[in-house]
Chain A
Amino acid sequence: MQNALQKLNKYKYPYLFIAPTLIILFLFSFIPIFIAIFISFTNMNLSGLADFSNIKFNGFDNFVRLFSDATFQKSMFNTLIFVVVGVPSVVLISMAIAILINQGTSWLFKSFRVIYYMPSITNIVAVAVIWGYLYNSQYGLINQMLGFIGIDPVSWLQDPVIAKFSLIIMAVWKAIGLNMIIFLAALQGIPRTYYEAAQIDGASRWEQLTKITVPLLSFATFFVSITTLIGWIQFFEEPLVMTKGGPINSTMSMALFIYNTGFQRNNFGYAAAGSIVLFAIIILVTMIQFKVRKKDSDVEY
């Protein structure tokens, strides 16, 4: 006991420095996982919240129910669409823009950097409000411009199929900037001498791009792909504020399903089960990505 106290006193400053953050992180990040796992096997709801004795274990019932729940199935399918369309779009567009911006250093190119980054720092609710106006089928700018060139108005947010893509377009618009900056930082790390050597050898611009730039961006591409992928699996705020998952659940993502189940219907146990499934998918997909990445030969410079 004496010994332990002495030890604690010796290290009191580092412990003092980390204590506040550690307490907050453990309380609000770490312990919640165990609570989530625990309540996912119970019928935890409002009456359980009022009186803990109302909480009953129901084994794997929540999980069994989830996979026969039509809304949850739909949300998994929608999330798959969001990921399959959204992730490659974000990675390719932000890489392309970064490569273009990296061609110059004048004020014009510096302004481009700022302009493309701007949506990334914009609040998601504001983005949804602005795009809600742009997408409005009657007064929206997009339909009015389409009308100008003789195209009939499109129901951007009312049509179940189109609504998915409307959300994807908005989310891609918002996500490009941050990832572009990551690619730019990587591009600036590529030594100029590589390009000079290639030019002496008579390589065309296209060859320089495909043989030098893109391979040397492999780490940044991996990083951007994995963070974007994880982000899109959790696609949440866009449908929440833009469409509330509608029309007829066509934009209901898994994350939104969890939120609705938990906070609209107060089925905490069932929602927690959904979140465990989501977490499992994220872990699985991340592991697959790392496996694939290992197989690729690494380019070092």
Chain B
Amino acid sequence: MDIQVKPVYKTIVITLLLLGSIAMCIPFVWMILASFKPESEVVALTPKFWPQQATLENYVRLFTEMRFATYLWNTLVIVFFSFIGLFLNAAAGYAFAKFEFPGRNVLYYLVLGTMMIPSQVTMIPVYLLLNQMNLTNTMAGIVLPGMVNAFGIFLFRQFMTTIPADLIEAARLDGASELRTFFQLVIPIAKPIFAVQGILTFIGGWNSFLWPLIIANDENLYTLSVGLSLLKGQYGGDFAIQMAGASFMVVPIVILFIFMQRHIIEGYTISGMK
């Protein structure tokens, strides 16, 4: 290997990546800095990088002028139900992986087929269905349409086919019920895939936007993202409060992600992507 060229080459790679990282980071950095600036600094024609008179005022206004406490609560409720959905996905994935039953393949292909359906096609009919079930403007109506997803079932099934059948048979012979086998044997074995799916479920629930937007017409049911879009509409020129709202949504997820990123990134290797 050409030893003299190598450091130069590596420097070029790192420089390119550094320049790109700045482009990736600037929106976040600028958002967080602006969220601590008073209004006058945010709309200054010659902006300073650091806040000159740092303030928490913008964050306080989220809770006094807007109802971010309500939005946060609703978002957490959605996250909670998404986790129930996660277990339902796991149960279905387990059944498709480890049981023989009539109609298994047909049903599994139908499940996979739903991945192809664009949300724009189902959007209107689902709204009409929920309206028929008197579920518009209810939490159930917001949560149900996105509670389970075919991709999650697919990933669980992929992982669970690798669990040895003997192990499950042994649990059954020991007299464990099917439900107990699932909760006490299968779920612990499937921990790695639960970690990945758990983080993605949390992020998905936290960010959920479309169904709350369509189904909730009452501010009591707004989620953080719907509230934030309301904020964007109402406080069009007031960027300080907008940046505080955005930071409030983004920073928790970024922190969670930094701690858990190894699991997410490895998750793609689990899914068998070559």
Contacts and interface: CB of A to CB of B under 8 A. Distances in A.
B26 interface: yes
B245 interface: yes
B155 to A, nearest CB: 13
Given A103-B10, A241-B229, A272-B124, A113 B101 contact: no
A139 B21 contact: no
A194 interface: no
Contact of A234 (B94, B111, B119, B249): B119
B148 A49 contact: no
Contacts of B42: 139
Contact of A139 (B25, B43, B110, B114): B43
Contact of B101 (A15, A29, A101, A282): A15
B182 interface: yes
Given A181-B268, A205-B9, A129 B245 contact: yes
A184 B107 CA distance: 33
Interface residues of B, number: 93
Contacts of B243: 129-130, 133
B21 A49 contact: no
Interface string A51-90: 0000000000000000000000000000000000000000
B263 interface: no
A117 B265 contact: yes
Contacts of A149: none
A236 interface: yes
A144 interface: yes
Interface in A1-52: 7, 11, 13-15, 17-18, 20-22, 24-25, 27-33, 35-36, 39, 44, 49
Contacts of B257: 114, 117-118, 121
Interface stretch (A160-168, A207-215, A257-265): A257-265
Contact of B17 (A97, A122, A124, A173): A97
A124 B249 CA distance: 10
**Residue of A126, A130, A186 ringed by the most chain B CB atoms within 10 A:** A126
A234 B120 contact: yes
A286 B113 CA distance: 14
A126 B269 contact: no
Nearest to B230: A125
Nearest to B243: A133
B225 A125 contact: yes
A138 B117 CA distance: 42
A275 B231 CA distance: 29
Q: Chain A: interface secondary structure?
A: helix
Given A21-B148, A123-B250, A185 B123 contact: no
A130 B146 CA distance: 26
Chain A interface residue bracket vs B: 35 or more
Given A21-B91, A263-B214, 14 more contacts: A11-B101, A24-B144, A31-B129, A122-B207, A122-B253, A125-B229, A127-B27, A129-B243, A136-B239, A258-B124, A263-B127, A268-B128, A278-B121, A283-B116
Interface of B: 1, 9-10, 13-14, 16-17, 20-21, 23-28, 30-31, 34, 42-47, 88-89, 91-92, 94-96, 99, 101-102, 104, 107, 110-111, 114, 116-129, 131, 144-145, 147-148, 150, 153, 178, 182, 203, 206-207, 209-210, 214, 224-226, 228-229, 231-232, 239, 242-243, 245-246, 249-250, 253-254, 257-258, 261, 264-265, 268-269, 273-274
8 cross-chain pairs, A with B, having the tightest CB-CB distances, nearest first: A32-B125, A35-B125, A14-B99, A17-B95, A29-B114, A32-B122, A21-B92, A123-B207
10 contacts: A31-B125, A97-B20, A112-B17, A116-B24, A129-B232, A133-B30, A133-B239, A139-B239, A144-B45, A144-B47
